[in-house]
Structure 1
Amino acid sequence: MKIKYCSDYEEMSQLCSDSILTDLKKNNKQLICVATGNSPNGVYENLANAHKSEPSLFEKLKVIKLDEWGGISASDENSCETFIQKKILGPLQILSDRYISFESKPASPEEECVRIQNEIKRHGPIDTCILGLGKNGHIGFNEPGKALAPYCHVAKLSKESLRHEMTATMQKKPSYGLTLGMANILQSKKIVLLITGANKNSVIENLLTKTINPDLPASFLWLHQNVTCYIDSNAI
């Protein structure tokens, strides 16, 4: 894992988006996995600005959603779906045939995970996986525990995840999570981890020890050969 310390959130977002754009200029037929939340928001804004001047870079881009709050409406303003529609799909003009997404209220969450897993087999591997880091070290809804699930699965949400700012104003709280698993993430050709936000000193220190532990899911990224971790100085 390459560690890049950034002076602020803007530099972190710019360095990461520049890397993604460089890859798209080499090959614009890519599948990118996108996370939600504040950490990657600046990256998506930069990509949206790039689309205005070079829309052809995004004409063949496919997007897959990393995770989703389970049991809520996709139209909830704080769903992952709403975030991605507003921040990524709309600005980059990604049509439905180039978008792979968990439904937020599937009849069978388990069958929905099987469906997404089959979509990955059909359209993968993921070229670039964009990740944020939770305060408890989770990535996606791969939560700390005795063991981690390899593929798409229904996740029991931790108390930390349920305190996320996205859940604060939800009319109905999520009852579970739907997420890509650790193997899905680690099979990506390239991974970028964005770390910003308050109260992450402890999890950053633990991550930088390079000790791989299921209690810190993000630590498994040390097993991948092409990971860049961007750390906003305000998070240290």
Structure 2
Amino acid sequence: MNNLFFDDYRDMSAHAGHIVLSELKKKKDLRICTATGNSPTGTYEFLARQYLNHPELFKELHIVKLDEWGGLPDTHPGSCEHYLQEHLLKPLNISNDRYTGFSTNPQNARLECERIQQKIENDGLIDLCILGLGNNGHIGFNEPDYHLQPFCHVAQLSEASQKHGMVKDLDIKPSFGMTLGMQNILSAKRIILLIYGTGKEEVCSKLKKKIITTQLPATFLWLHPKVDCLQLKST
């Protein structure tokens, strides 16, 4: 894991954005798995600005949604779908045929996960995965547990996840989510882990110990050969 530290969020976001651009220049039909939340927002805003001057760079880019809250309408401002539409899909003009994402409120969440898993297997490996770090060490909705799921699955959300800024103000919070599994994530050719936000000091300290445990899913990133971990110097 390549640990990089920055003085401010804008510089961190720009660095992540330049990694994406460098990969796009090497492979026009790049497949990126994208997280949501505060951590990657600056990176997506950077890419949106780049699109204004170089739209040709993004014309074959394919986006894969990392996860989704269960049971929210796709237009709900707390849904991952709404977030990605506003911050990435519309700004980069990503057409439906270049987007793979869980439905927000499927009739059968398990079958929806099977659909996404099959599509990922049919379309090929993810080239770049952009991740955030949960306060309890989760990545995607791969929550701390005694075991972890390798492929797309329905995840019961922890109390910590239900306090996430995207849903914390909802009267009835989602009890489950749909997410790529650990093998899906670790099969990506390159990973960017963005660490930003309050309350992550303890989990960052544990991550730095390089002890791999299912109780802190992000530690499995130590098994990957090409992870850039970007964070502020104060984290």
Shared fold (TM-score greater than 0.5)?
Answer: yes
Q: Which amino acid aligns with 1:64?
A: V
Any idea what SS the aligned residue of 1:33 has? Answer: strand
Partner of 2:142: 142
Alpha-carbon separation, structure 1, partners of 2:87 and 2:69: 17
1:156-235 equivalences in 2 (<5 Å): 156-170=156-170, 172-234=172-234
Alpha-carbon separation, structure 1, partners of 2:143 and 2:232: 23
Partner of 2:38: 38
Alpha-carbon separation, structure 2, partners of 1:137 and 1:175: 18
Partner of 1:24: 24
Alpha-carbon separation, structure 1, partners of 2:146 and 2:211: 15
In the superposition, the TM-score normalised over structure 1's length comes to: 0.98
Any idea what SS the aligned residue of 1:154 has? Answer: strand
Q: CA deviation at 1:57?
A: 0.5
Partner of 1:58: 58
Alpha-carbon separation, structure 2, partners of 1:158 and 1:169: 16
Q: After TM superposition, where is structure 1 displaced by more than 3 Å over at least 4 residues in a row?
A: 169-172
Alpha-carbon separation, structure 2, partners of 1:124 and 1:63: 13
Residues 100 and 171 of structure 1: is their aligned pair in 2 closer, same or farther, counting only changes over 3 Å? farther
Alpha-carbon separation, structure 1, partners of 2:205 and 2:153: 28
1:153-175 residue CA offsets vs partner (Å, 9 max, x unmatched): 00000000001111133364212
- CA contact 1:17–1:43 (8 Å) conserved in 2: yes
Alpha-carbon separation, structure 1, partners of 2:133 and 2:32: 18
Partner of 2:132: 132
> How many equivalent residue pairs?
235
Alpha-carbon separation, structure 2, partners of 1:83 and 1:172: 19
Alpha-carbon separation, structure 2, partners of 1:217 and 1:175: 19
Alpha-carbon separation, structure 1, partners of 2:230 and 2:103: 30
1:85-142 residue CA offsets vs partner (Å, 9 max, x unmatched): 0000000000101000101111111110100001101112000000000000000000
Is 1:85 matched up with 2:85?
A: yes
Any idea what SS the aligned residue of 2:91 has? Answer: helix
Partner of 1:155: 155
Q: Which amino acid aligns with 1:137?
A: G
Partner of 1:103: 103
Alpha-carbon separation, structure 2, partners of 1:81 and 1:120: 18
Gaps of 5+ in 2: none
Alpha-carbon separation, structure 2, partners of 1:124 and 1:37: 26
Residues 232 and 216 of structure 1: is their aligned pair in 2 closer, same or farther, counting only changes over 3 Å? same
Partner of 1:72: 72
Alpha-carbon separation, structure 2, partners of 1:47 and 1:16: 10
Any idea what SS the aligned residue of 2:198 has? Answer: coil
Gaps of 5+ in 1: none
1:31-89 residue CA offsets vs partner (Å, 9 max, x unmatched): 10000000000000000000001001100000010000001111111100000000000
Q: Which amino acid aligns with 1:199?
A: G
In the superposition, the TM-score normalised over structure 2's length comes to: 0.98
Alpha-carbon separation, structure 1, partners of 2:25 and 2:53: 13
1:154-206 residue CA offsets vs partner (Å, 9 max, x unmatched): 00000000011111333642121000000000000000000011111110010
- CA contact 1:139–1:218 (8 Å) conserved in 2: yes
Any idea what SS the aligned residue of 2:89 has? Answer: helix
